[in-house]
């Protein structure tokens, strides 16, 4: 299905170097923020007590932080809004001398003394061992997905395509994590699920383009590699708009109307979809071209019969 068809190929690869320099700068910035700030891990990973407190009016986060800090929690706790300005989430570290119930009672007593309008909505406890297991399992899941993608693309296409697709996927994932590190958004299990989904979603777009490149190598015998790649990307634009446009509309509906529970999940998907389209065109295809893809890599040689125009029979 196509909404439109572009008759003249768009020279994407002519500007690939410029866009890849921009990608490299963005990637390095994301790595820097991950190293400098780190991820704002949820209590599911770190272990501890999470409290949800609501107020009648907008909450004063700085005042709440000072109140919790005065209780002896140091700087290991986290206070942030979620959903509305009146709702506050407080993450408290595990303390050996206090249970989760005692921690929440201690904090609520101080918050009520500060503002009688404070209301405790929810208290949840996650043990440190569970958090460590979730972190280990999450990293293993990411590693297995990456390995699976490499094996799949290496068998379906050729190792150059597998490398270029993995570079593009890692580009998307690191940038998503960089956004969460820079803005200090909470990284929870739902966000990890979104990251894993983007890995598969992004590689699907790369496979579509690689398939069209393979088809063009068979049809466009006299064209250069750059012309073949440009034609492959141009001919799939209509499909890309339909697929990613409909997916993005669904994700945006979750982001806008899904509430705080789905907010970070939809946010990670939104960033991943946008950068996934970009990386499939300007990262995966360009890297594959620079790695020296050739007609022989994808098209098995066939015997040519004697003819004057050089066509393969």
Looking at residue 131, what is its pLDDT?
A: 66
Same domain, 280 and 158: yes
CA 19 to CA 33: how far, in whole Å? 21
Report if residue 306 sits inside a domain: no
Same domain, 66 and 105: yes
Looking at residue 75, what is its pLDDT?
A: 65
- CATH number, domain containing residue 70: 3.30.70.100
Same domain, 224 and 267: yes
Report if residue 2 sits inside a domain: no
Last-in-domain residue among 92, 109, 126: 126
Last-in-domain residue among 57, 91, 126: 126
Same domain, 35 and 80: no
Same domain, 136 and 121: no
Same domain, 122 and 140: no
Report if residue 305 sits inside a domain: no
CA 273 to CA 312: how far, in whole Å? 40
Q: With the CA atoms of 99, 103, 106 and 109 taken in that order, what torsion angle do they form, in degrees rounded to the nearest 10?
A: -120
Looking at residue 35, what is its pLDDT?
A: 93
Report if residue 25 sits inside a domain: yes
Q: Splitting the chain (313 residues) into consecutive groups of 10 residues, what average pLDDT does each group show?
A: 71 87 93 91 77 89 87 76 82 79 88 89 76 78 82 79 85 93 86 88 84 86 87 87 89 86 89 88 86 65 42 37
Report if residue 4 sits inside a domain: no
Looking at residue 177, what is its pLDDT?
A: 94
Looking at residue 297, what is its pLDDT?
A: 58
Last-in-domain residue among 66, 100, 126: 126
Same domain, 32 and 147: yes
CA 27 to CA 175: how far, in whole Å? 6
Same domain, 88 and 193: no
The domain of 55 spans 48-126
Same domain, 82 and 218: no
User: What is the three-state SS of the chain?
Assistant: CCCCCCCCCCCHHHHHHHHHHHHHHHHHHHHHHHHHCCCEECHHHHCEEEEEEECCCCCCHHHHHHHHHHHHHCCCCEEEEECEEEEEEEEECCCCCCCHHHHHHHHHHHHHHHCCCCEEEEEEEECHHHHHHHHHHHHHHHHHHHHHHHHHHHHHCCHHHHHHHHHHHHHHHHHHHHHHHHHCCEECHHHHHHHHHHHHHHHHHHHHHHHHHHHHHHHCCCCCHHHHHHHHHHHCHHHHHHHHHHHHHHHHHHHHHCHHHHHHHHHHHHHHHHHHHHHHHHHHHHHHHHCCCCHHHHCCCCCCCCCCCCCCC
Report if residue 300 sits inside a domain: no
Report if residue 3 sits inside a domain: no
Same domain, 153 and 273: yes
Strands 40-41 and 186-187: parallel
Same domain, 227 and 136: yes
Looking at residue 91, what is its pLDDT?
A: 81
CA 269 to CA 279: how far, in whole Å? 15
Report if residue 277 sits inside a domain: yes
For the chain, what is the radius of gyration of the CA atoms? 25
- CATH number, domain containing residue 139: 1.20.1640.10
Same domain, 221 and 104: no
What pLDDT digit, counting tens, does each position of 45-76 carry?
A: 777 888 899 998 888 888 888 888 888 877 66
Q: Please count the structural domains in the chain.
A: 2
């Amino acid at each position: 299905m196509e909404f439109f068809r572009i008759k003249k190929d768009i020279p994407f690869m002519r500007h690939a170097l410029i866009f890849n320099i921009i990608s490299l700068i963005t990637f390095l910035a994301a790595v820097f923020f991950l190293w400098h700030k780190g991820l704002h891990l949820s209590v599911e990973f770190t272990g501890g007590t999470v409290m949800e407190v609501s107020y009648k009016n907008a909450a004063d986060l700085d005042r709440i932080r000072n109140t919790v800090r005065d209780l002896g929690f140091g700087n290991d706790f986290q206070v942030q809004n979620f959903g509305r300005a009146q709702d506050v989430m407080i993450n408290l570290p595990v303390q050996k001398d206090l249970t989760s119930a005692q921690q929440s009672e201690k904090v609520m007593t101080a918050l009520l003394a500060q503002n009688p309008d404070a209301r405790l909505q929810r208290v949840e406890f996650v043990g440190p061992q569970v958090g460590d297991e979730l972190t280990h399992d999450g990293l293993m899941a990411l590693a297995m997905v990456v390995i699976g993608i490499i094996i799949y693309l290496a068998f379906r296409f050729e190792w150059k395509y597998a490398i270029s697709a993995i570079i593009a996927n890692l580009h998307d994932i690191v940038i998503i994590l960089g956004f969460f590190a820079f803005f200090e958004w909470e990284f929870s299990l739902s966000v990890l699920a979104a990251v894993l989904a983007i890995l598969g979603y992004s590689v699907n777009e790369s496979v579509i383009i690689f398939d069209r490149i393979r088809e063009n190598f068979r049809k466009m015998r006299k064209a250069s590699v750059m012309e073949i790649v440009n034609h492959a990307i141009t001919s799939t634009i209509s499909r890309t708009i339909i697929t990613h446009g409909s997916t993005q509309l669904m994700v945006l509906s979750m982001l806008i109307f899904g509430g705080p529970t789905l907010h970070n999940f939809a946010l990670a998907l939104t960033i991943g979809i946008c950068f996934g389209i970009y990386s499939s065109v300007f990262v995966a295809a360009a890297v594959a071209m620079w790695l020296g893809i050739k007609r022989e890599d994808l098209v098995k040689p066939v015997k040519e019969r004697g003819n004057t125009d050089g066509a393969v029979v």
